[in-house]
């Protein structure tokens, strides 16, 4: 990048810096000295040494001199030796002053210690016993320190009657030794922890009068010991930093006067990128506190920043769908919240807050519990901050977890080869589809089969995720039509050859005029889903090569709100018995009884009447028994569906008929007009019976429709056609019989259905049309004036003189 500033010279600038405007981050700057300062400086060159960590500039009144001159005190070591793959020792021998500058460098966390010292001369084994070591570490993860320790026995430092033993600092042993209590043979110079590597520089005298120090012979070989391990923080009982059991240790023969350059390249911590990374786990709270800013990743920064689990401003890694719990203990000056803003502080109106806010503040005695569950709509990178102060927090990495965590419900579709995940939100519904076997694409369709189905296909093309929406109205490639559904949050992945794709869509497209506008999802109704997988798919120009290699053998009914799925089922036997009984009652017995009352008057001994009565009572009994079967199978009784409502109505009208017949008014005497009650009864009995038949036929049809919605399949459509055919036959027979009756003049006057106390009729006459025996001659009883229409049936008439 080349920047040209016109009419400017370097003398016009005092500071040159690199900033990130969005993060308000200072990536580095240089303070230019004045021309007088540059002239007065006499820089010297530093000798070439082995790789080293440099000391920070020492304090000086002339700050500009730090940039251009090297101090008299060396900042590098003459020698370096590798103790282990993560531990190095550097030193410079100062023979004239009787001291040695030592530097220990290890790729360890700032909660660990680094120990180095000399074994007791003459030891051939158990080199650590009675050894003199220097322990280096960090107080509260921030302040470096070194201290002299003496190992009187193996184990942590303990006190027995005020006498210490174990790995204890020299100060603990010398409390009763006034001669050496104030002596110091150790001088701390510099310490730091950066990029996962801890470094400590200190100076130690070669010879000491203390009984707890071992004299160092700089010109002969001595056994040196070293160890790395976790540092135990001080408490109220032991206000000392004590090393716990070491995680690695060893010894080496060392001559300080030898020249050793065994360190090649800088020491790098393994997984250094994850050192300041905290991974959130479900059910494990993350403690939010504050502490001093020592290596905050986004300078400039305030003096105190947010700590998570005692780590300064780490990167927090969370998974979508996994609940994260924070225990906010940062005091009332820090209100914890999570948003998209990289700066923090009081958010503006257009900033989305995902969790927390101005009320999320607590102290160690009463922490504030904050629960946050990122979902698949949470951005990949958000930030945690304080509500009252900018730049106190840092990044949160939001990664995709398991699909089971990201979605509320999951089921295997038919044949266990495709797994479906879904989650209903305020904006619509989100799906994830995963093919268990290896494939080039995976598709699902909303319907009973792949024909007349809205389909979604996910595939990878040139490592690019693609999800297509289609309307399929046939079984060949030409019947697959691309649609333009509004999909969001589309993702694809392929792992071990298995395709997974995700998408979100509204429940109702809210559009008109296009095929996809009919693709409405009602969560309260089971969604029928089928699947298919294949080897290759393309967005356009589909051919037979794109056809599926495997598909579902049946559909699966997915209950979106309940989170369960049911495969396509055969008709349950009890429901089949219920349907058969209702068909027997409403399609055979009830219509048969009515037809007998109207068209079988020619039977002897009122046979038509017996058929009518027995048919109606048998139909009512079978009908009620069928209702009990349905209730027993369903296990509940609800009146919400149309089928149940119509069924109750038809049952009511059917049960009215025998009750109505029981209260039938007496028939009028010959020659008398029927009473008003008789006429009303005839009207009610006739038309409520006809209405019962009509509602019963409709109820049969709605029952088949309900079965088809629940089970679908060709057999359900076959039942519907069978019922329609039967009703057509009954209607045809009725029309034919009516036609024959009118043709032979048997309905020249108002006809009656029947006669007798239980039979419905329009008048009190006993004549009826014998439609089945229309050619039977009339016979007259001589001398009686009676005309016989049927054998054994007589009727009295009056004759008038013309």
For 50, 290, 327, 330, 362, the CA distances from 366, given in Å and listed in that order, are 53, 16, 9, 11, 6
Q: Which residues make beta-bridge pairs with 631? A: none
**Residue 154 φ/ψ, nearest 5 degrees:** -75, 130
**Residue 573 and residue 788: Cα distance in Å, rounded?**
54
Q: In what order do the strands lie in the sheet with 353-356?
A: 277-279, 315-319, 395-399, 381-386, 336-339, 353-356
**Residue 324 and residue 548: Cα distance in Å, rounded?**
42
The answer regarding whether domain 573-743 maps to CATH 1.20.120.1770 reads yes
Residues sharing a CB contact under 8 Å with residue 737, sequence separation 6 or more, in sequence order: 595, 598, 599, 771
Does a cis peptide bond (omega within 30 degrees of 0) precede residue 300? yes
Segments making up each domain of the chain, as ranges: 79-254, 276-399, 407-567, 573-743
527 Rama class: left (phi>0) / alpha (psi -120 to 50) / beta: beta
385 within 8 A of 344, measured Cβ to Cβ: yes
Half-sphere exposure of 547 (CA within 13 A, CB side): 9
> What CATH code is assigned to 79-254?
2.60.40.1210
Long-range (24+ apart) CB contacts under 8 A made by 729-737 are 730/587, 730/591, 733/595, 734/595, 737/595, 737/598, 737/599, 737/771
The answer regarding whether domain 407-567 maps to CATH 2.60.120 reads no
Which pLDDT score is estimated for 274?
58
Nearest CA-CA partner of 52 in 84, 83, 92, 85: 92
Examine domains 407-567 and 573-743 and report if their fold is the same: no
Q: For the chain, first and last CA: distance in Å?
A: 132
| Strand positions, DSSP E, 131-196 | 132-139, 143-151, 158-160, 163-165, 167-169, 186-194
Residue burial 294-327, b: 16+ Cβ < 10 Å; e: rest? bbbebeebeebbbbbeebbbbbbebbbbbebbbb
For 298, 333, 349, 785, the CA distances from 392, given in Å and listed in that order, are 9, 12, 20, 121
Nearest CA-CA partner of 244 in 255, 234, 230: 230
Which pLDDT score is estimated for 321?
86
**Residue 173 and residue 176: Cα distance in Å, rounded?**
7
576 within 8 A of 721, measured Cβ to Cβ: no
Q: Which residue has the tokens 């905050």?
A: 296
Fold type of domain 276-399: Immunoglobulin-like (2.60.40)
Residues sharing a CB contact under 8 Å with residue 380, sequence separation 6 or more, in sequence order: 397, 398, 399
Residue burial 651-671, b: 16+ Cβ < 10 Å; e: rest? bebbebbeeebeebeebeeee
**Residue 129 and residue 123: Cα distance in Å, rounded?**
9
Nearest CA-CA partner of 331 in 370, 288, 296: 288
For 2, 11, 28, 33, the CA distances from 8, given in Å and listed in that order, are 15, 8, 22, 17
Which pLDDT score is estimated for 296?
85
Taking the chain (802 residues) in runs of 10, the rounded mean pLDDT of each run is 75 81 77 62 41 41 38 70 94 92 92 92 87 89 87 84 82 65 76 88 90 89 93 73 82 93 85 73 92 85 91 91 93 94 89 93 95 90 94 92 85 92 91 90 90 92 86 88 91 87 93 90 92 88 82 90 78 76 88 84 79 88 88 73 87 85 78 80 83 88 78 64 86 85 57 39 37 38 39 54 64
Which pLDDT score is estimated for 232?
81
Helix (H, G, I), strand (E, B) or coil at 573: helix
Q: Say which DSSP state 584 is in.
A: I
Which pLDDT score is estimated for 770?
36
């Amino acid at each position: 990048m080349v920047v040209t500033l016109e009419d400017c010279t370097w003398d016009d600038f005092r500071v040159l810096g690199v900033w990130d405007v969005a993060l308000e981050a200072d990536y580095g700057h240089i303070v230019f000295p004045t021309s007088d300062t540059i002239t007065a400086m006499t820089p010297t060159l530093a000798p070439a040494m082995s790789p080293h960590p440099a000391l920070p500039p020492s304090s000086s009144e002339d700050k500009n001199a730090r940039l251009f001159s090297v101090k008299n005190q060396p900042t590098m070591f003459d020698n370096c030796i590798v103790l282990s793959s993560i531990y190095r020792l550097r030193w410079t021998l100062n023979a004239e002053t009787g001291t040695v500058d030592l530097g220990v460098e290890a790729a360890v966390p700032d909660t660990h210690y680094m120990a180095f010292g000399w074994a007791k001369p003459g030891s051939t084994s158990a080199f650590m016993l009675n050894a003199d070591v220097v322990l280096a570490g960090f107080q509260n993860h921030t302040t470096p320190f070194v201290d002299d320790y003496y190992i009187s026995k193996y184990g942590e430092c303990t006190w027995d009657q005020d006498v210490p033993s174990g790995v204890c600092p020299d100060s603990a042993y010398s409390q009763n030794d006034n001669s050496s209590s104030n002596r110091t043979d150790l001088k701390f110079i510099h310490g730091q922890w950066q990029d996962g590597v801890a470094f400590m520089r200190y100076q130690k005298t070669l010879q000491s009068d203390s009984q707890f120090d071992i004299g160092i012979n700089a010109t002969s070989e001595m056994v040196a010991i070293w160890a790395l391990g976790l540092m135990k923080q001080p408490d109220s009982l032991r206000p000392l930093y004590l090393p716990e059991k070491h995680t690695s240790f060893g010894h080496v023969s060392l001559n300080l006067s030898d020249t050793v350059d065994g360190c090649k390249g800088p020491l790098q911590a393994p997984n250094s990128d994850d050192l300041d990374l905290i991974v959130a786990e479900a059910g494990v709270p993350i403690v939010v506190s504050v502490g001093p800013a020592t290596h905050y990743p986004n300078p400039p920064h305030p003096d105190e920043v947010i700590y998570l689990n005692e780590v300064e401003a780490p990167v927090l890694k969370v998974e979508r769908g996994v609940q994260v719990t924070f225990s906010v203990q940062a005091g009332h000056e820090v209100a914890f919240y999570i948003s998209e803003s990289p700066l923090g502080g009081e958010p503006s109106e257009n900033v989305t807050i995902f969790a927390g806010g101005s009320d999320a503040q607590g102290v160690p005695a009463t922490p504030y519990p904050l629960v946050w569950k990122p979902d698949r709509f949470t951005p990949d990178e958000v930030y945690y901050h304080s509500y009252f102060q900018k730049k106190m927090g840092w990044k949160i990495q939001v990664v995709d977890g398991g699909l089971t965590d990201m979605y509320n419900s999951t089921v295997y579709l038919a044949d266990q080869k495709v797994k479906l995940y879904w989650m209903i939100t305020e904006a619509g519904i989100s799906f994830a589809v995963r093919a268990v076997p290896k494939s080039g694409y995976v598709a699902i369709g909303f319907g009973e089969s792949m024909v007349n189905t809205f389909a979604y296909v996910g595939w990878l093309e040139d490592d690019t995720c693609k999800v297509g929406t289609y309307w399929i109205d046939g079984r060949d490639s030409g019947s697959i039509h691309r649609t333009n559904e509004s999909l969001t949050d589309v993702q694809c992945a392929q792992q071990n050859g298995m395709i997974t794709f995700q998408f979100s869509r509204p429940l109702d497209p809210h559009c008109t005029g296009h095929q996809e506008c009919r693709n409405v999802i009602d969560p309260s109704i089971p969604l029928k889903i089928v699947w298919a997988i294949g080897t290759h798919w393309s967005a356009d120009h589909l051919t037979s090569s794109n056809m599926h290699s495997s598909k579902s053998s049946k559909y699966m009914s997915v209950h979106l709100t309940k989170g369960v799925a049911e495969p396509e089922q055969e008709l349950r036997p009890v429901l089949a018995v219920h349907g058969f009984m209702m068909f027997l009652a409403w399609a055979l017995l009830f219509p048969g009884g009515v037809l007998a009352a109207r068209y079988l008057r020619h039977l002897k001994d009122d046979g038509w009447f017996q058929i009518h009565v027995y048919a109606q009572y048998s139909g009512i009994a079978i009908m009620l028994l069928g209702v009990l079967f349905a209730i027993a199978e369903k296990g509940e009784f609800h009146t919400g569906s149309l089928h149940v409502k119509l069924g109750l109505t038809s049952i009511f009208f059917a049960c009215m008929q025998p009750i109505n017949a029981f209260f039938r008014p007496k028939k009028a005497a010959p020659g008398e007009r029927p009473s008003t009650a008789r006429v009303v009864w005839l009207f009610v009995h006739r038309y409520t019976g006809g209405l019962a038949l009509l509602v019963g036929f409709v109820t049969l049809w709605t029952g088949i429709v309900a079965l088809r919605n629940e089970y679908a399949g060709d057999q359900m459509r076959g039942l519907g056609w069978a019922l329609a055919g039967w009703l057509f036959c009954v209607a045809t027979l009725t029309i034919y019989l009516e036609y024959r009756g009118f043709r032979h003049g048997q309905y020249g006057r108002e006809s009656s259905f029947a006669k007798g106390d239980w039979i419905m009729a329009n008048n009190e006459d006993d004549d009826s049309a014998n439609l089945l025996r229309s050619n039977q001659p009339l016979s007259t009883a001589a001398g009686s004036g009676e005309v016989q229409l049927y054998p054994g049936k007589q009727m009295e008439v009056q004759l008038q003189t013309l």
